[in-house]
Amino acid sequence: MLDADARDPETLASLDPSALARVSGGADDNAFGRCGPGTSWKWLGNVYTPECRAHDAAVRGQLANGSSHVMAHVKSLPLLPAAIGSYVRARLR
């Protein structure tokens, strides 16, 4: 059950529209689950797979744990072959 403060509309904070777009998948830099590096490589197409999503989740998890961008990708390398394979399968279908 919610306490009285959680139901009070004055305790709610507003969210900046650009932040809302980013977390809801509407920003260009948020291509969670898209195969390829973000949305910059348009020639790859707009392919989203569970394996690419798992790789993205691993990278973001490493970043959340304090890894640098390079180390986050290095630590997530074991999931990359499956992500690449899923992209190839999706494009050949």
Residue 8 belongs to some domain of the structure: no
By residue range, what is the domain housing residue 81? 48-93
Does position 84 have pLDDT exceeding 90, yes or no? yes
User: How far is the C-alpha of 10 from the C-alpha of 59, rounded, in Å?
Assistant: 36
Does position 2 have pLDDT exceeding 60, yes or no? no
- Give pLDDT tens digits for 7-18: 655 665 665 665
In this prediction, residue 70 has a pLDDT band, given cuts at 50, 70 and 90, of very high
CA angle 51, 53, 58 (to 5 degrees): 95
DSSP 46-74: S-B-HHHHHHHHHHHHHHHTT--HHHHHH
How many helices and strands (H and E) does the chain possess? 5, 0
Residue 57 belongs to some domain of the structure: yes
The pTM of this model reads 0.67
Residue 84 belongs to some domain of the structure: yes
Residue 89 belongs to some domain of the structure: yes
Number of domains in the chain: 1
Residue 21 belongs to some domain of the structure: no
